Structure 1
Amino acid sequence: MGQNLQVKSKLKLHGLNSKLRILNKIKQAFLLLTNLESRLDNIQNALGRIEAKTNASQPSKKLSDVEFKVFSQWGEDGILQFLISNLEIKNKVFVEFGVETYRESNTRFLLMNNNWSGLVLDGSRKNIDYIKSDSIYWKYNLKADCAFIDRDNINKLIERNGLAGEIGLLSVDIDGNDYWVWQAITVINPVIVVCEYNSLWGAKDAVSTPYDANFVRSNKHYSNLYYGASIKALNDLAISKGYSLVGGNSAGNNVFFVRNDMMMGSIEPVTVEDAWVQSQFRESRDPQGNLTYLDFEVRKSLLGDLPLAEVNTGQLIKVRDLK
């Protein structure tokens, strides 16, 4: 009798395990289909923008008009395709940092669609291990290095991965010390630079969060809004390095610069005021980490007493004192 119960229990357990395996396979298939649907939507969006651009009697040179998204967060894939199609870039190599798992990035489409090579950096070992386990890592010429980036180590990190001199693209997005790290980079000379800016800081002040080698955005203020540099600060830095501002994305968080000696007739400089966009994405958090969906001015007022460094003078002002 006892043996029969044991047999029946084992059969039930085996049946449950079989059902769990089937459910897991269904879940994996669902996730795969969902991801595929998202990619197809991105490609359809891209094709629509390309078709609209092709059919236009006078194609626009405004970067936001050539946006499309495949792997980028917003429309950076389309903007970069436009830029590389209109610039003579010999060394098709990129450096991008702050990539997390590299599933969403500014350079993945360049790697896969245009056969570029490059280096990606991230401070999380888990993220770097994920990238190295992705089939993209053997299918393409990609290097991934784990490091918490600051202005004192960035040149050594790039050099130890075999890069120096002219490259095609530098993409800067580390949610904090972006200005200070780009300022420190001397070992490479990119044709294109794309850098994240903080739209909350406006278009008139050249400011950034003060440099902190250990800056972590979520630790600096619970809202997750206190980070990075203004578009004017980045433009002033670009000018000092020999670059021209050529536009920004429509979301209001990335700007694009081209080295002056590589500017072509189809790429024209724009003003800071033309490139700046008041961001509409509502990523603010409460002290418990929940999204609060605050509008632009409310988000800005929340940070009123926090300090910002005027990058050209070294003076500190408060967020509420921005023009």
Structure 2
Amino acid sequence: MINKLRRGFKSLFSSLAHWARDYHDEQLLATGALLSKQQYLMNSSNIHDYEFKIFSQFGDDGIIQYLIKHVEIENETFIEFGVEDYMESNTRFLLLNNNWSGYVMDGSANAMNRLGGQSWYWKHALEKKAAFIDKNNINELLSYSGFSNLGLLHIDLDGNDYYILETIDFERYNPSILVLEYNAVFGKERAISVPYDPTFVRTKKHYSNLYFGASLPALTHEAERKGYKLVACNLAGNNAYFIREDLMTDRFKALTAKEAFVESKFRESRAEDHSLSLLSGEKRLELIKGLEVFNVISKQTEKL
């Protein structure tokens, strides 16, 4: 009898938790829809003024809403990878608010299973795949989406981002908007990335959690080679926004990496015991100084 009661209470609490989460998401979506519509009333030339956060980590939901209003989109499709379980991501609001079709990937099968169990998953054209991405498999993995001429591509791997950007078949995927995560700790002067490692995991590569990805100049260098112009970074200083060159209009100004660079202020550094050490500013760079980086222009290995 007691076990039956326990199971009953467990089921009740689980149902209440699901209801509360769904209600919370509905309220967020309603707020986001209002904020998105409000952008039509604004007349600022500063993309930062359009930032707002619904499901993104920072203000990226607002930036993306602004861009899709002013960039020609052939297909309302997106690909994002490195999404964990997708609860906090840069394309979830695009999926739920604008009803775009999407394809997401993450290296964790458990995370992708949690995504598949969400109450709203069946309501939208979202495909998912659990996979650890490297240069040898990225284009095969992307091909499962069935997409071409994307509306938006977002790369967020916390590791080999530069090399994956370099390898992707842009002739096929040809996104109108390209979103790239950069490592602001690497600064705005050097076009550098961590050296390529197909097994790269940020939290294992260096205890600090600061040694990952590529600098904004490195990513901008490769994006420009592929025909994209840098138009903004978010205020948080971790995501950069590029528009395909043939879709640029007078509304947007092409920026250099130095012009667009925003220094991150969030404090995610770790001590050797894996606890948060909360370093900021130049102290972050000092912690990883001397580690090897790859200069994407000279193609030489250097030291931080």
Settle same-fold status: TM greater than 0.5. Answer: yes
Deviates more, 1:69-78 or 1:250-259: 69-78
The Cα of 1:150 is off from its aligned counterpart by 0.7
Which has more radius of gyration?
Answer: 1
Match of 1:161, SS state, is coil
Say whether 1:179 aligns with 2:166: no
Q: Contact conserved, 1:244 with 1:257, CA < 8 A, in 2?
A: yes
Matched residues in 2 for 1:204 and 1:240: separation? 18
Among 237, 240, 250, the residue aligned to 1:265: 250
Match of 2:209, SS state, is coil
The Cα of 1:45 is off from its aligned counterpart by 7.8
Q: Contact conserved, 2:81 with 2:106, CA < 8 A, in 1?
A: yes
Q: Which residue of 2 aligns with 1:198?
A: 183
Q: Contact conserved, 1:42 with 1:69, CA < 8 A, in 2?
A: no
Q: Contact conserved, 1:46 with 1:78, CA < 8 A, in 2?
A: no
The Cα of 1:22 is off from its aligned counterpart by 4.0
Q: Which residue of 2 aligns with 1:102?
A: 86
Q: Alpha-carbon deviations, 1:174-222, whole Å to 9, x = none?
A: 0000010011001411111001000001111100001111100001001
Query: CA, structure 1 residues 99+20, in 2 after alignment: closer, same or farther (shift >3 Å)?
Result: same
Matched residues in 1 for 2:108 and 2:234: separation? 27
Q: Which residue of 2 aligns with 1:160?
A: 144
Q: Alpha-carbon deviations, 1:300-322, whole Å to 9, x = none?
A: 10001211110111212222xxx
The Cα of 1:265 is off from its aligned counterpart by 2.3
* 4+ aligned runs moved over 3 Å, structure 1: 17-51, 53-56
Matched residues in 2 for 1:170 and 1:118: separation? 10
Say whether 1:236 aligns with 2:221: yes
Matched residues in 1 for 2:297 and 2:23: separation? 47
Among 82, 89, 94, the residue aligned to 2:73: 89
Matched residues in 2 for 1:222 and 1:120: separation? 28
Deviates more, 1:210-219 or 1:151-160: 151-160
Q: Which residue of 1 aligns with 2:279?
A: 294
Query: CA, structure 1 residues 182+195, in 2 after alignment: closer, same or farther (shift >3 Å)?
Result: same
**What letter is aligned with 2:215?**
S
Say whether 1:140 aligns with 2:124: yes
Gaps of 5+ in 1: 1-9
Say whether 1:214 aligns with 2:222: no
**What letter is aligned with 2:229?**
S
Match of 2:174, SS state, is strand
Deviates more, 1:269-278 or 1:195-204: 269-278
Q: Contact conserved, 1:43 with 1:70, CA < 8 A, in 2?
A: no
TM-score, normalised to structure 2, is: 0.90
CA RMSD of aligned residues (A): 2.4
Say whether 1:223 aligns with 2:208: yes
**What letter is aligned with 1:109?**
F
Matched residues in 2 for 1:45 and 1:166: separation? 27
Matched residues in 1 for 2:122 and 2:217: separation? 40
The Cα of 1:162 is off from its aligned counterpart by 1.7
Matched residues in 1 for 2:194 and 2:228: separation? 22
Q: Which residue of 2 aligns with 1:116?
A: 100
Gaps of 5+ in 2: none
Matched residues in 1 for 2:301 and 2:16: separation? 53
Say whether 1:275 aligns with 2:295: no
Say whether 1:71 aligns with 2:58: no
Percent identical among aligned pairs is: 43
Query: CA, structure 1 residues 66+50, in 2 after alignment: closer, same or farther (shift >3 Å)?
Result: farther
Match of 1:273, SS state, is helix
Query: CA, structure 1 residues 262+231, in 2 after alignment: closer, same or farther (shift >3 Å)?
Result: same
Q: Which residue of 2 aligns with 1:312?
A: 297
